[in-house]
A and B are shown apart, each in its own frame.
Chain A
Amino acid sequence: GDSVTQMEGPVTLSEEAFLTINCTYTATGYPSLFWYVQYPGEGLQLLLKATKADDKGSNKGFEATYRKETTSFHLEKGSVQVSDSAVYFCALKAAGNKLTFGGGTRVLVKP
């Protein structure tokens, strides 16, 4: 079945550091890929998405590129802020339209 694997956290960084969160997937067909963010005490919000190979999703300084050859969708940000502290979820939507999530990666950015 479909599955998403992302790096375990927590990831602790200093402000202005570079952030990478790895995400790989297994799916039938050609899934759409998503990154969601969950701030403390809140629900999930869509951060960015990509719907076909080589697409790059971007939002709020975050980027991720849909790499079909490596079945990956790694999230990156060049200079993190304290306000980026959150839990980040990689997800895919494939045949059947079920949204499958990875385990989440907690990111803590210190001043």
Chain B
Amino acid sequence: NAGVTQTPKFRVLKTGQSMTLLCAQDMNHEYMYWYRQDPGMGLRLIHYSVGEGTTAKGEVPDGYNVSRLKKQNFLLGLESAAPSQTSVYFCASSYRGQGANTEAFFGQGTRLTVV
């Protein structure tokens, strides 16, 4: 049972470079999320998607773009990396709606360093 898989797990970028983080889930979840985790700040929502072909901005969307071309994949892009984007990135997915079955499942995280 793979669950939520993030690639890569680690990456070092130079300022101005671009990269894409891939998130894949095999649970047929409608909702997918990208968070960043910074020391002392918990998890902050970057972008999310409520279904294939749809995306929406979260709390800290600037400097990031996302795409959800297939239901099982959610891509996070950095067009021009900045040191302020050094962080640990987590992808999550969940079923649609409220109630007992809407817990989010998380990937193992991607540690990104921008130098």
Contacts and interface: CB of A to CB of B under 8 A. Distances in A.
Contacts of A99: 33, 45, 92, 94, 104
B90 A34 contact: no
A44 B98 contact: no
A22 to B, nearest CB: 15
Contacts of A46: 103-105
* Size category, A interface: 20 to 34
Contact of A97 (B4, B31, B44): B31
A46 B35 CA distance: 16
Given A32-B102, A49-B103, A93-B98, A42 B108 contact: yes
Contacts of A100: 45
Interface in B21-53: 31, 33, 35, 40-45, 48, 50
Given A97-B97, A98-B48, A44 B90 contact: yes
B74 interface: no
Contacts of A44: 43, 90, 92, 106
Nearest to B101: A51
Interface string A68-111: 00000000000000000000010001000111111110000000
B100 to A, nearest CB: 5
B42 A89 contact: yes
A42 B81 CA distance: 24
Interface of B: 4, 31, 33, 35, 40-45, 48, 50, 58, 90, 92, 94, 96-100, 102-109
